[in-house]
Each structure stands twice: as structure tokens, then as C-alpha cells.
Structure 1
Amino acid sequence: MNTGPGLFSDIGKKAKDLLTRDYISDHKFSVSTNSATGIALTSSATKKGGLSSGDIGAVYKYKNTLVDIKLDTESNIATTLTIIDIVPSTKTIASFKLPNSKSGKVEVQYFHNHASLTSAVALTETPTIDVSATIGTPTFVIGAEAGYESSSGTLTKYTAGVSINKPDSSASIVLGDKGDTIRASYIHHLDASKKSGAVGEITRRFSTNENTFTVGGSYAVDSLTLVKAKLNNHGKLGALLQHEIIPKSLVTMSSELDTRALDRNPKFGLALALKP
């Protein structure tokens, strides 16, 4: 793929990932392994509250084609086929889930040195169409996305955003929810590996006149251990500890506490991901 501004979904993604990735409130166990034929196998089990679920997945890569199949405990089969460079500088993604015959979707991503374009179409009798585009460079990006529902002839969404990126920092502003919300975020990395950093995000919803301000950070204690924390103006405090117990195998413990309601029990999450 060409070096360029990236996809519209990348705008603000670094800040969002630091504030949300690996924060969990359930218990999850997963095991991944690679077979001699080049197939990556994954098995996972999740317990949330009193409910348990699980899935088994397989990923096979051959040249520029990637096939991802997943079967869960509710007998749903999700399949994703990704092909790179059917046409130069493109990525084509086809996905569907059985037995839901209306879940099929085809997405085509086009990358250029100064632009990107994504179009996704749901494979139904009255399809919905999502289109997004960006222009700029890896340093400065401006973009927009829109969704159209053919059955009603209405726009289901329209969003616009801008991002300024530097090697050690990134700032973005996104106007979403059909103009009802605006989100501004800034992330600054504190080391070359980008494991330690600080982030701030403010979101305003115009219809309710509500503001949400969140600050967070991550710190690499050493090459194997990472701690993260976040706090918003509504009193929600989150903390996370992640440790690499063996190469590529992680144990993650997280907790969330409502500081304005200390009588409530905090939420705890535990995840163990093994990659032998």
C-alpha cells in the first residue's frame, strides 16, 4: 500500500485506543497457535456476569489473500475474505455471517499518496451504502464519511474530521452524529516505543448540552509490563495492568470505579491470551 493520509477511521484512533483498548469488565481466556500448513487457530471463552460464551476461529493467509472464519457457541459462522491489490493500491473485504442471510457486506478500500477512499455496500435487497474519504498527507489529514439507506432514501450518518500527526503526538477533531457531537483529542507519546503516553479527550453533545472530558495515560514499567489509567469528569476511574508472562502471551487485569458512588462495587476484568 502507498504511504498516504490513511483511512477516515484512523482519525483520532490513537487517542481512542489508549483510552479504551484492553479495558474490560469480564473474564476472557484465549489460546492461539499456528499450524504447519500456515493456518492460525484461535479458541476463546468469555464469562460476563452469569453468562458464558466462546468461539473457535481459523485464519489462513496465502499470498495476497486472507481468509478468517469464526464459529461461536450460538452456532453463528462469521467469514471474512480479504484480498489485497486485486486492483493496484486497493483492499477488498467481503464478509458474511450464517445463518443471518442479510449480514453480507462488501468493502473496497483505495489508497493513494494523498488520498484514500472507502466504499461499503450491504448485500441486501435494499442495501445501505457507506462511503468515506480522506485527503492530505501522513502529517495532515482531512476527511468525511456518510451513510445512505436506499429503502428510505435518507442519510443514516455524516461525519467530518481533521487530524494533525507528528512522530510523538497526534491531535484530532471529529464532528459526528449528524452534527450533534464534536470530539477533540490529543495524545503525546513519551518514549520511542510509544508505550508510554498521555491523552486528553473532550466530547460535547449539543442536543443535551453535555460535556465529557477524559484524561488518561500509559506507562511502560519495563519491557514486559504496562500500566494504564483514565478518569473522566463524571467520576469514572479506570486502571489496567498488563504483563507479558511469556513471549507474545499476555495477562491483563483491569478495574473501573465510580468515584461518585463508592457504595457500588467496582467492576473487575481479567484476560489471559496465550500464544505458544
Structure 2
Amino acid sequence: MGKGPGLYTEIGKKARDLLYKDYQTDQKFTITTYSPTGVAITSTGVKKGDLFLADVNTQLKNKNITTDVKVDTDSNLFTTITFDEPAPGLKAILSFRVPDQRSGKVEIQYLHDYAAVSSSIGLTPNPIVNFSGVIGTNVASLGTDLSFDTQTGNFTKCNAGLSYSNADLIASLTLNDKVKARVNNLGRVSALIQHEWRPKSFFTLSGEVDSKAIEKSAKFGLALALKP
């Protein structure tokens, strides 16, 4: 087990794996073979009712560079190139999908004994920028995950998570929220934060203030949406 807290995506992973991993309601098989040169080829097939899905993944390692190429039954080609430790604790990842020309993304990760940081940006004219940070240890960690849309100028994601694990207990708490803000030509500034506290059930808090008349009272609103 590593000393550091790991990336934000690992918060709650042990708890999710304990509850959901390896439970199958579909028919699935996976075969992995290795060539004499060290190339790993993994074939996966899943049968969901009358639908059959399959993909083939090839992994090639050369020193500190790992290339993963996956082809699925829809003729999508997924490519991920990972540069491991160009500097101590650093990892750079380039990923893209063919034929989707807007899928390119560059991600930088930095891992420390007591912190982990990850930042990614889409390779598009108006990309979405993601940032996440975690502090703690491999036992207890606290982190946040943010996304910013450069085209609209809005934060599209604002999440936070807490994780704790030891030999006898695995627990995690995550708050996945949606944050939006806007300004109109009259100078009215509005902001909204939305929390999905269970699937399809949302709690929303919003507010509006007139930037040209700050002395006036701001407007606030609350909403609760429940769906079975």
C-alpha cells in the first residue's frame, strides 16, 4: 500500500469495490495474453440480453512510456499514452479517441506522501479545465474536484470527498455538486449550487444580487426535487 492519499478518483474506491466489484448480472469473459516482446493483449466480451459488446486492448511498455490502444465493436479507437515520472512524483497522460476529434485531453498528475494533485485540459479551442487535489495519508484523506468551462466561464463541477480506511473499517463520504453562475447586461449576478444527494434527487440553492445596487437585499431561492 502506498504512503500517499492517492488521487481524488480513489476517494471512496475501496468502499465502492467492497460493495459493487465483481457482482455480475451479465455474462462476461476476459482473456489476457502476452507476446514474447512483452505486449499485453486483453480481449473482453459482455453479453447483455440480446446485445453483445466486445473490445480488444493492447498495452505496450517501453521504459517509462506506456501506450494503451483499445478498439471496440463500434469501431472506436481509444489511445492513452502515459509518461511515468519524467520528474519525481510526476506523471503525464495524453488520451484521445478516433473518430471523435474533440476527445483529446492532456493530464498532469503529481503524487506526494501527503498530497496529490491532478489537472487536465481538453485539446479543443474552448476546453474544459479540470483540477483536483487531495491531502492526507493512505488511511484518511480529504479532497476536492473542480471543472471550469472556458467557453461559458462557468464552474460546471464542484465536488468534495472524505475517505477513511484501515484493516477493520472502510468508509467514504462524497458531495457531488453542480455550480453555475451568470451575469446579464443589467448587472445582475446569479449563482446556483445543486447537490444530488441520491440518484435523481436534487437540492438546489440559488441567489441573485444587483451589482449596480449592492445596498439592496439579495434574492435567494431553495428547491428540492425528488424522483423515484
TM-score range, shorter chain: 0.7 to 0.9
| Number of residue-to-residue matches in the alignment | 193
- The alpha carbon displacement at 1:177 in A equals 2.5
Distance 1:103 1:79 in 2: 10
Residue of structure 2 in register with 1:153 after alignment: 153
* Counterpart code for 1:143: G
What are the Cα deviations for residues 77-130 of structure 1, in whole angstroms up to 9, with x where unaligned?
A: 111111111121011111111111111111111011211100011111110011
* Counterpart code for 1:155: F
* Counterpart code for 1:13: K
Residue of structure 2 in register with 1:21 after alignment: 21
Residue of structure 2 in register with 1:51 after alignment: 51
Distance 1:93 1:103 in 2: 13
What are the Cα deviations for residues 141-172 of structure 1, in whole angstroms up to 9, with x where unaligned?
A: 11101111111111111011222232332222
RMSD: 2.4
Residue of structure 2 in register with 1:208 after alignment: 225
- The alpha carbon displacement at 1:209 in A equals 5.5
SS at match of 2:225: coil
Residue of structure 2 in register with 1:3 after alignment: 3
* Counterpart code for 1:142: L
Residue of structure 2 in register with 1:38 after alignment: 38
Residue of structure 2 in register with 1:224 after alignment: none
- Matching of residues 83-162 of structure 1 within 5 Å: 83-162=83-162
Is residue 181 from structure 1 mapped to residue 210 from structure 2 by the alignment? Answer: no
Q: TM-score, normalised by structure 2?
A: 0.76
SS at match of 1:125: coil
Distance 1:5 1:26 in 2: 33
4+ aligned runs moved over 6 Å, structure 1: none
Which structure ranks higher in relative contact order (CA pairs < 8 Å, sequence separation ≥ 6)?
1
CA contact (8 A) 2:2 2:138 kept: no
SS at match of 1:168: coil
| Structure 2 unaligned blocks of 5 or more | 179-193, 204-223
CA contact (8 A) 2:12 2:172 kept: yes
| Structure 1 unaligned blocks of 5 or more | 184-203, 211-233, 235-276
- The alpha carbon displacement at 1:8 in A equals 1.3
SS at match of 2:163: strand
CA contact (8 A) 1:71 1:77 kept: yes
CA contact (8 A) 2:90 2:109 kept: yes
- The alpha carbon displacement at 1:50 in A equals 2.0
- The alpha carbon displacement at 1:2 in A equals 7.1
In structure 2, the CA distance between the partners of 1:205 and 1:23, relative to structure 1 (3 Å rule), is: farther
What are the Cα deviations for residues 210-233 of structure 1, in whole angstroms up to 9, with x where unaligned?
A: 8xxxxxxxxxxxxxxxxxxxxxxx
- The alpha carbon displacement at 1:60 in A equals 1.0
What percentage of aligned pairs have identical amino acids?
Answer: 42
Which protein is bigger by CA-based radius of gyration?
Answer: 2
In structure 2, the CA distance between the partners of 1:25 and 1:2, relative to structure 1 (3 Å rule), is: closer
Distance 2:171 2:20 in 1: 17
